[in-house]
Chain A
Amino acid sequence: MSAQADTHDDHHHKETFVTKYIFSQDHKMIAKQYLITGTIMGVVGVIMSLMMRMQIAWPEEPNVIFQALLGKWAPEGVMDADIYLALVTIHGTIMVFFVLTAGLSGTFSNLLIPLQIGARDMASGFLNMVSYWLFFLSSIIMVLSFFVEAGPAAAGWTIYPPLSALPMAQGGSGAGMTMWLVSMAIFIASSLLGSLNYVVTVINLRTKGMSMTRLPLTIWAFFVTAIIGIVSFPVLLSAALLLIMDRSFGTSFFLSDIFIQGEVLHYQGGSPVLFEHLFWFLGHPEVYIVLLPALGITSEIIATNSRKPIFGYRAMIVSILAIAFLSTIVWGHHMFISGMNPFLGSVFTFTTLLIAIPSAVKAFNYITTLWKGNLQMNPAMLFSIGLVSTFITGGLTGIILGDSALDINVHDTYFVVAHFHLVMGISALYGMFAGIYHWFPKMFGRMLNKNLGYIHFWVTAVCAYGVFFPMHFIGMAGLPRRYYTNSNFPLFDDLQDVNVIITVFALIGGVFQIVFLYNLFASMFYGKKAIQNPWRSNTLEWTTPVEHIHGNWPGEIPHVHRWAYDYSKPGHDEDFVSQIVPLKEGEEELQH
């Protein structure tokens, strides 16, 4: 696959400020753009969640923070019930799509795919640029939706019709929902362009010797993630388009027999359940679109920092593929009690619980990789271990939620909130943090401060458990999610102290992210200068010069002679052997 023409080798075009920093077609710059936009969206999303937590802990109490941030939605500092649902909705949308899909995949797929497979750039630099700017545009529209008269979309991030389809059902279903749908349609276009680019690049532009079985697991994860995205995102796009038709052109895809505010609407024959199917056909794979890149990053970081080969490389690839395949046939477990045929529920229970098997294999392989290692506790390593921990804790409760009989009683309670925040939210966020700490030197040529990294990790780790572990229990006690306040249910009065504890942990954890933000932005300019291969890693990105150059390698692209995980291999002096080092005479390429 070295047939890649050295078209944009290192002969430099004249670059202006605009082509270098704004409309850049260089994958490394685009990765940075994704990182910074994703981080800003992350700050917005986290602030929303903190406001929600304060409202739940101290309902209907005046709060200056609400007054300052929500303006007319918090008259005299008391949060309005409509805006609470809007916060729920936009927090979910931003975190799932804008931070953990675009921010995570966008940053690291762009940065690492060319660098780790030995390519000059993405297959299409232009599409890559368009992809970022579409993402940027959709982010702007999503944030601007907070400024429309009747408020932003407030039907939950799942935007089930008819609630999302009828402006008279709630304020947010007017212009706010239109902006949500437009923003998501643009986002999906961006995501598809990105994914196509990733897939084509991985298939076509690998350097000589980089066979599929020598690819780092990061690339495998990004590659498979992109395929899942290509398969499932168009379905959400079609659902969004049909919903736009129902909203604006009077069609009845998802609506039927509706009487609201004193009048019968003309809709006839549609079904909201159809929308649920379409939505979750993306919605569930989306969980793995978020999670797989994080797991790929973790595989790489755990191996490097354990100074050991990743345990069971082949099994890891098979697990990724199995998860990807199963993820497209389990969506119905979100719909056990939607009114669909109970027999379908049985089928989806079966396929859903199967996913636990490759997940268990992955978790055990991570743990075995640590065994008898020489663990270098860099912040990236801590976040990777943290990911394995939350992945297990959050994943285990999946066997309750995936079981249709048990789901009846915990569906849409805080049990679900706790489950998915741990297994995909916190885990993927840890993966993103780990990736940032690990590849920051590659992105910016400087090091992040490790002591701030340690503070960041330990406070975040404690708070993440402090928030989401007790949350399982209030869920099992039957507390529904998305309630503006629980004060109308004396039945739940004894859960209020748990809610206050959760909120306190959330506030501490949320505010401590400032440590990370400070570290991130201060180190970009003032951090210690990085050396070429600070983590003593095997993969190709560390053979490029610290200063970014167009085309990545000066001169020829290096050839690859071994897999990415020859750490502490007997017969070598160093405890790492770069992929570009040829096999010694008589040395076996031990792997698989």
Chain B
Amino acid sequence: MTALLSILVLVFILVAIWQMVKIFDLTQSVTARSDNQVANDKDNKINGYLMLGFLVFIYVITIICFVKWGDLPLMSNSASEHGPGIDNLMIISMIIIFFVQTVTQFLLHYFAFKYRGEKGKKALFYADNNKLEAIWTIIPVIVLAVLIIQGLFTWTTIMNVNEENDPLILELYAQQFNWKARYGGEDNTLGKANVRLIDINRANILGVDESDPNAQDDVITTELHLPVGRPVLFKMRSQDVLHSAYMPHFRAQMNCVPGMITQFGFTPTVTTEDMRETPEMQDKVANINKIRVDKSKDLVAKGEQALDPYVFDYLLLCNKICGKSHYNMQMKIIVETPEEYNAWIKTQKVFKDSLID
């Protein structure tokens, strides 16, 4: 149906173009003598007004985007300790951008309208003004200095991962096209690992060193469970190509690089349950479910299965092109109370028991 519609649109546009071509031919022949294809006063006037109209268009599209989709962005509701720092910086940057954009677009298009050409008018010969240029060099310098300083401060805080405050040590393991997590177990220490030690027959899929005492109690899972309030330090590995561990709700992202271990740390602050209860999230989920119900009606009419209702969960997405199924490489993240977390981790098989002899 949509394909048909798009073709219909294309046909209409082609007809419109055909009409324009006729206009072209007509203008070529009728005005051949008087019109030299250089803008005249009439063109200047029409396009001058259109410039003004275009300014309005830019403002309208900005307002529509902010009103209609301004609540989509992840600018609030972050679920990690460093999240609000990023969000604040984002908001400051957005305000600056919004201000500069509004003013400069106004000047540009308004001047284009105001000074549209007329026969006999003479432009002002005005080639230089050092003072003006100094001003608009210095103002960006000051604004950028503020942004750079705050940005670097935020960045350093986020990236300064250390193991002093007893973080939960966790390995994220990427492969085409799924994620695994490996917990350090009782000793909170990961056993050594290398892809050369992978032994599919023994179900040692991450290449964990079987002889390493630290490895024996490691726990490998396909879901990521995190206790709320405790720092987590991710050690990331990839076995084949580049992947990127993107956890948008936690304002966290780091590439997984074959041959090296990358790391990223954050502290989750809101459990999955609590996040589901927030009004913003409830609105969002209700909206999504409305869309899904509508879509399901179409599907059922076509004899296909209806979509399941959506329940919010944190997600880990792959965000670096990694091959055919890149678009579906995801893992569920569950943030829970320490008690729930401890109960869950106890139910998981430790590495030495998961091996097949």
Contact = CB atoms under 8 A, between A and B. Distances in A.
B343 interface: no
A11 interface: no
A485 B327 CA distance: 6
Contacts of A306: 115, 123
Interface in A78-99: 81-82, 85, 88
Nearest to B254: A337
Interface residues of A, number: 156
A405 B85 contact: yes
A195 to B, nearest CB: 30
A266 to B, nearest CB: 10
> Looking at A63, A258, A575, which has the most chain B CB atoms within 10 Å of its CB?
A258
B70 A337 contact: no
A23 B85 CA distance: 61
Interface in A32-72: 54, 57-58, 61-65
A342 B97 contact: no
A469 B310 CA distance: 28
Interface in B77-136: 85-86, 89-90, 93-94, 96-97, 100-101, 104-105, 107-109, 111-112, 115-118, 121-129, 132-133, 136
A489 B260 CA distance: 30
16 contacts: A57-B2, A81-B327, A170-B324, A258-B240, A309-B125, A349-B155, A363-B104, A367-B104, A370-B111, A370-B115, A371-B126, A404-B151, A472-B65, A476-B75, A482-B327, A495-B72
A350 B159 CA distance: 16
A144 interface: no
Contacts of A171: 324
B137 A357 contact: yes
Given A374-B118, A375-B117, A272 B104 contact: no
B3 A77 contact: yes
Contact of A367 (B108, B241, B244): B108
Contacts of A271: 257, 259-260
A377 B47 contact: yes
B321 A163 contact: yes
B17 interface: yes
A377 B48 contact: yes
Contacts of A323: none
Given A458-B50, A507-B9, A357 B144 contact: yes
A431 interface: no
A372 B123 contact: yes
Contacts of A569: 125
Given A367-B111, A393-B101, A349 B244 contact: no
B36 A403 contact: no
B141 interface: yes
Contacts of A364: 104, 133, 136
Given A378-B39, A405-B158, A470 B69 contact: yes
Sorted nearest first, the 6 A-B pairs with minimum C-beta distance are A256-B259, A476-B73, A342-B159, A478-B248, A447-B37, A339-B262
A337 B38 contact: no
Contact of B152 (A163, A346, A476, A496): A346
Contact of B105 (A393, A488, A531): A393
Nearest to A358: B137
A408 B101 contact: no
B130 to A, nearest CB: 9
A389 interface: yes
A206 interface: no
A44 B144 CA distance: 40
Given A271-B257, A389-B109, A259 B198 contact: yes
A565 interface: yes
Contact of B195 (A257, A272, A483): A257
Given A162-B240, A311-B126, A473 B72 contact: yes
Contacts of B341: none
A180 to B, nearest CB: 14
Contacts of B125: 308-309, 567-570, 590
A562 interface: no
A272 B260 CA distance: 9
A269 B198 CA distance: 18
A491 B62 CA distance: 24
Given A88-B321, A373-B117, A568-B124, 8 more contacts: A64-B3, A85-B323, A169-B176, A361-B137, A385-B112, A448-B37, A482-B321, A526-B28
B193 to A, nearest CB: 10
Given A400-B97, A489-B330, A473 B69 contact: yes
Interface in B271-302: 284, 287-288, 291-292, 295
A462 B89 CA distance: 31
Given A477-B73, A494-B284, A470 B260 contact: no
> Looking at B107, B158, B198, B307, which has the most chain A CB atoms within 10 Å of its CB?
B107
